[in-house]
């Protein structure tokens, strides 16, 4: 973003890189009609875009899903989101955007810790959420493409994501 001043740098992340196996986890997975505990390994049956985002309702979450919808990634890959929001908030988000996606609810940010995408929020004591981050996974959960925000805020390069999907999915 061109703002004419420095935005906040986030600490270096030791996140999964291409070639690594994305860490498995189990959390409530919210779809249009219900939520149920699910493991990432159960959900990934083919190319999957795993998108971490700030809590539902924050503008970066809205921007990310609007952009993912606009690019039509759901036509080529399975879309899975993760945020700190509750299943009730995920249901609301899915009524507005994130067409075809399902969303994991990770209120304690344990998945964020496993992927090293934690963002401890300044001015919201005790709240840790997820940095914007996207991982393209193949059917074995091998990372094909990874991007993690290193500034706050920062957004994925969606053309780069599209190119990765074209190459790997």
Q: 83 near 52, Cβ under 8 Å?
A: yes
Task: Report, in Å, the least distance between residue 102 CB and another protein.
Answer: 12
With binding defined as CB under 8 A, does residue 104 bind another protein? no
Which of 28, 168 has the CB closer to another protein?
28
Out of 34, 75, 110, 167, the only residue in the binding site for another protein (CB under 8 A) is: 34
Query: Measured between alpha carbons, how far is 134 from 114 in angstroms, rounded to an integer?
Result: 14
Shortest distance in whole angstroms from residue 24 CB to another protein: 12
| 110 near another protein, judged by CB under 8 A | no
Q: How many CB atoms lie within 10 A of CB 14?
A: 9
The CA distance from 37 to 63, in Å, is: 27
Q: Does residue 147 bind another protein (CB under 8 A)? A: no
Q: Does position 21 bind another protein by CB under 8 A?
A: no
C-beta closer to another protein: residue 21 or 88: 88
Cα separation, 162 vs 153, whole angstroms:
21
Rounded CA separation 33/35 (Å) = 7
Query: Which residues lie near another protein (CB under 8 A)?
Result: 26, 28, 33-39, 42, 87, 91
């Amino acid at each position: 973003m061109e703002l004419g001043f420095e935005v906040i740098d986030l600490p270096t992340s030791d996140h999964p890189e291409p070639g690594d196996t994305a860490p498995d986890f189990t959390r409530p997975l919210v779809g249009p009609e219900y939520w149920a505990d699910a493991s990432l390994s159960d959900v990934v049956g083919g190319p999957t875009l795993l998108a971490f985002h700030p809590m539902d309702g924050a503008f970066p979450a809205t921007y990310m899903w609007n952009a993912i919808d606009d690019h039509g990634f759901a036509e080529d890959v399975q879309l899975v989101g993760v945020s700190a929001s509750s299943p009730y908030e995920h249901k609301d988000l899915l009524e507005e955007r994130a067409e075809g996606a399902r969303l994991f609810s990770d209120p304690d940010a344990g998945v964020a810790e496993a992927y090293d995408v934690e963002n401890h929020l300044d001015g919201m004591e005790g709240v840790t959420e997820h940095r914007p981050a996207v991982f393209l996974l193949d059917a074995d959960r091998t990372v094909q493409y990874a991007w993690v925000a290193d500034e706050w805020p920062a957004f994925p390069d969606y053309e780069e994501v599209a190119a990765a999907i074209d190459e790997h999915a």
